[in-house]
């Protein structure tokens, strides 16, 4: 049997997205300890301050730490690339100056 002869599987349609009222109801009924409202990635500490109370919570907090450290690494990567390019151009300029001094000394 060829691939053209196989029946095509029809997937069920996607559910409708929630309405604004349903979203607001979910947000209002969420507990204060809900992980969505708990992890604050804006401070400089790589590890959130509250102690994990369960394995899932601990894994979530580790994920928050990972995301924060990953963002810092991306910023450092950009900064290092800029410094590398600056040093490379300075090295080229220095090489030209040294060559000019050698020619002047002859």
C-beta separation of 14 from 22 below 8 A: no
CA distance 106 to 104: 6
**What is the pTM for the complete model shown?**
0.41
Task: Write out pLDDT tens, residues 4-23.
Answer: 667 788 888 989 999 999 98
Q: What is the pLDDT of residue 87?
A: 95
Task: Write out pLDDT tens, residues 70-101.
Answer: 999 999 999 999 999 999 999 999 999 999 99
3 state DSSP class of 22: helix
Tell me the H-state helices in 1-106: 20-29, 35-38, 55-105
Task: Write out pLDDT tens, residues 18-69.
Answer: 999 998 898 888 887 777 766 655 655 555 555 546 788 888 889 999 999 9
CA distance 65 to 43: 11
C-beta separation of 34 from 56 below 8 A: no
Q: What is the pLDDT of residue 51?
A: 55
**For 48, which DSSP code?**
-
């Amino acid at each position: 049997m060829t691939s053209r002869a196989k029946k095509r599987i029809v997937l069920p349609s996607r559910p409708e997205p929630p309405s604004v009222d349903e979203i607001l109801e979910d947000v209002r009924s969420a507990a204060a300890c809900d992980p969505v409202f708990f992890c604050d990635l804006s401070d400089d500490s790589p590890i959130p301050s509250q102690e994990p109370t369960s394995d899932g919570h601990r894994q979530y907090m580790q994920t928050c730490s990972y995301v924060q450290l990953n963002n810092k690494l991306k910023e450092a990567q950009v900064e290092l690339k800029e410094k590398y390019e600056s040093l490379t151009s300075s090295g080229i300029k220095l090489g030209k100056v040294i060559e000019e001094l050698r020619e002047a000394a002859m």
